[in-house]
Amino acid sequence: MSMACFKRLRMEIKSMSDDPDIFLESSESDIRRWKAHIRGPPGTPYEGGVFELDLTVGMQYPLVPPAVTFVTRVFHPNVHFTTGAICLDVLSRAWTPAWGLQATCRALLALLSDPAADSPLNCDAGNMIRAGDACAFESMARMYTLEHAARDMPRRAGS
């Protein structure tokens, strides 16, 4: 691993805030592998759900964004239904080294709050939104949240 990547990740671990909607932890065996859990945003069909994510940091981090996928199944136009791949500009062309892992998770919370149907990875969800059928989209998203994301947020050791 590059020294810059290692130093940046160590710095992020030390400066991580206690955000009640984001839980991040690195693998014990590899600091470049992370698990995140994010709480579904209030007022969305994802409210009450806790969604697990895999984050993998490459050797060029922070110059290159982490690879992020949803482990928890989620019905969302910008999340591939089977692979969990995410279509989000800050995970590609809009990435900047000023972003970190926690900011990446915040961007994913914003994506859950405001789905974009113009670049869907899940065409069914995208088509529902583009057709103006918010009721169908929200009921499907809520059903998947209840079936796949109904769990408690992990806790930090000692809390």
HEC-encoded secondary structure of the chain: CCHHHHHHHHHHHHHCCCCCCEEEEECCCCCCEEEEEEECCCCCCCCCCEEEEEEECCCCCCCCCCEEEECCCCCCCCECCCCCEECCHHHCCCCCCCCCHHHHHHHHHHHHHCCCCCCCCCHHHHHHHHCCCHHHHHHHHHHHHHHHCCCCCCCCCCC
Give residue-wise pLDDT tens across range 143-154. Answer: 999 999 988 888
CATH of the domain at 126: 3.10.110.10
Q: Is the pLDDT of residue 157 over 70?
A: no
Q: Is the pLDDT of residue 130 over 60?
A: yes
- Within a domain: residue 9? yes
Catalytic residue among 87, 105, 123, 135: 87
- Within a domain: residue 113? yes
- Within a domain: residue 79? yes
CB 10 within 8 A of CB 26: no
pLDDT at 117: 87
Q: Is the dihedral of CA 140, 46, 105, 35 positive or negative?
A: negative
Q: Quick one: average pLDDT of 101-125?
A: 94
pLDDT at 140: 97
CB 50 within 8 A of CB 38: yes
- Within a domain: residue 114? yes
Residue whose C-alpha is closest to residue 121's, from 79, 159, 150, 93: 79
- Within a domain: residue 106? yes
What count of residues does the chain have?
A: 159
Kindly report the number of other CB atoms within 10 A of residue 54's CB atom: 15
135 is catalytic: no
Can you give the residue range of the structural domain that contains 75? 3-148
| pTM confidence score | 0.93
- Within a domain: residue 159? no
Confidence of residue 62 (pLDDT cuts 50, 70, 90): very high
- Within a domain: residue 155? no
Give residue-wise pLDDT tens across range 76-110. Answer: 999 999 999 999 999 999 999 999 999 999 999 99
Confidence of residue 15 (pLDDT cuts 50, 70, 90): confident
Number of structural domains found in the chain: 1
> What is d(CA 89, CA 109) in angstroms, rounded to the nearest whole number?
14
- Within a domain: residue 154? no
Q: Does a cis peptide bond (omega within 30 degrees of 0) precede residue 77? A: no
Q: Quick one: average pLDDT of 51-73?
A: 96
